Amino acid sequence: MDNTITQCLESFLFSNNKSKDKQLSKIINCYSVGDKGRVILNTLMVANYLSELGFYQQKVGDKILFSLYYNGVLTTNISRDHIYSYLMKLIIKYDPNAKNKDSQVLNKLNIELNKHIKKETTIVSNLDVCMLKEYRDTKNTTRFFFKNLIVVVEVKNDMKNIKTENYNEFAKRKKYINSSKIIDFDYDPKNPQPEKSVYAEFVRKVTNESKHYLSVVTSIGFFLNSFKSKKDPVIFILSDENSQLKNDAYGQSGKSEILEAGLQFAVSSYFFENAQNFNKNFPFQNIRPEHDLFIFGDAPKDFNLKIMYEAKRGIDVEQKGRSKADFFIQFEYSPKILVDTNFRLGSNKSSDKGRIFRITINNYFDADYTPIEEFKHELFTDWDKTEWNNFYSFMIECAASYLKYGLVKYSNPKIESKILATSTSSKFVEYMSNSFELDKWYVLPYLAKEIIEKTYKESPVKASKVLLNWLQQYADDKGLNLTKRKGAQNKKSIKISKINLFTNRENQ
């Protein structure tokens, strides 16, 4: 962060812009040299000078920092040390009496600025708070902010339109983009070759067929778009098919490469390296207002997804040892949440189904055959400028696919059947696939005798309980509703039905 801010201020200070140069030189009007070389710093003029340049005060918790707005870009979290150093460089640049390091004027200004910038709040408190709103994408538009230009992706009436705009044009919107979100790359829009991207080939390898490919592509596009709707899932779970099948870890399937792609854009996202150690009482304590994406990595079997559901209304950022939240991030500005795991998290129950979206890749890659062996180089690390341009072109296409199709769900029916069979039986899966009918009442003991005959012979009561648990699991996994009733001779009957979306009850 410090390097980013320093680079921003240095660029602002030393850019070859004559009109800005004239404006910057006004720093020498903010102080005077009196009798006996006494230096008098006019703090109000310094505040006005900074304000005219685009500086604002920024409150973060109990701290007062600086921010700088220029040409549609807002650089935040600028410390007093940064401003002190910045003003000293300006004075050295524009005041001929201060160019010599041994200059008395320079030494006295150093003392005055150190006092009024670092130790007191006189100058910063006279600055305005920036009232501009942060730019957010819409459900029809995604913007990519590169160093040299902005790529605008739009889909209207199923028609894709990709164009560019400069930062002067963007600034007319009277909104800002945080400088931490600008991609550190000069994109070439004249030569987009998404189909030649190595990363596009990687995504093709980790997906089974066209719908699976589209599901992963639209999921990537979702995270590239900053628009948030309360209709969207709250939590995205990234895993691989073998891990889901065995409910155990299968390393190097390619999940880290999926995460790495997202982090190229969500520059300010926070990556929680090991979700097993996260503090369940303060799960959001590391989130900051500028974060776009919050990743919980390596989530264990007992990871508490429900604690994430509160993000649906916005996020209270709490800190240990404090009686109240540091600050509240409104829902539309809060980060999207991604959980990376090797286990089956959540369920398909109605309470989870609308809140969770699953991104599952296959196991084309594993510990014995990695992407390095496939592509003969390390993804991201070993790319030249052409390959990076192809990668960004592919990401732009991902954004367009999401805007056009929305999130595309995918589940492998073979994997689902195998998962169900591991916790029930192959005969149960076969019966439910070929013989069981929805919206039909079945007498539970009779059904148990047919499906788990051996257990039924030992104990009809036990067989009925086992089968009821299996049926409930089947209904939950399929997003269906199981209804029970007692009939003749006090025998229990069951019926499985589709859930009525309007009444949240089974179809009658």
Would 272 be classed as within a structural domain?
yes
d(CA 236, CA 222): 11
The more confident residue out of 404 and 12 is 404
Return the pLDDT at 157: 87
* Residue 48 CB coordination number (10 Å): 16
The tally of CA atoms less than 13 A away on the side-chain side of residue 212 is 15
Which DSSP state fits 255?
H
Return the pLDDT at 275: 59
User: Which has the closest alpha carbon to 278: 259, 294, 255, 291?
Assistant: 294
51 in the same domain as 11: yes
The strand pairing partners of 272, in sequence order, are 296
Please name the helix (run of DSSP H) or strand (run of DSSP E) that holds residue 86, with its range, or none. helix 80-94
319 in the same domain as 287: yes
User: Which has the closest alpha carbon to 385: 100, 134, 188, 136?
Assistant: 188
418 in the same domain as 350: no
Would 133 be classed as within a structural domain?
no
Which position has the token pair 């009525």? 500
396 in the same domain as 332: yes
3-class DSSP state of 122 = coil
Written as one letter, the residue type at 190 is K
- For 453-500, the pLDDT digits (tens) are 888 899 999 999 999 999 998 887 777 889 999 877 788 999 999 865
59 in the same domain as 151: no
- For 367-419, the pLDDT digits (tens) are 999 999 999 999 999 999 999 999 999 999 999 999 999 999 998 888 878 77
Domain that holds residue 319: 141-411
Would 72 be classed as within a structural domain?
yes
- Torsion angles phi and psi, residue 35, rounded to 5: -60, 145
- Total residue length of the chain: 508
149 in the same domain as 268: yes
Task: Please check the confidence at residue 353 and state whether its pLDDT lies above 90.
Answer: no
Tokens of 60: 């973060």
β-bridge pairing 336-341 and 235-240: parallel
Give whole-number Cα distances, 120 to 19, 108, 235, 417, in Å: 31, 17, 44, 67
d(CA 411, CA 419): 12
d(CA 49, CA 391): 43
Q: Choose the final residue of a domain: 411, 433, 461.
A: 411
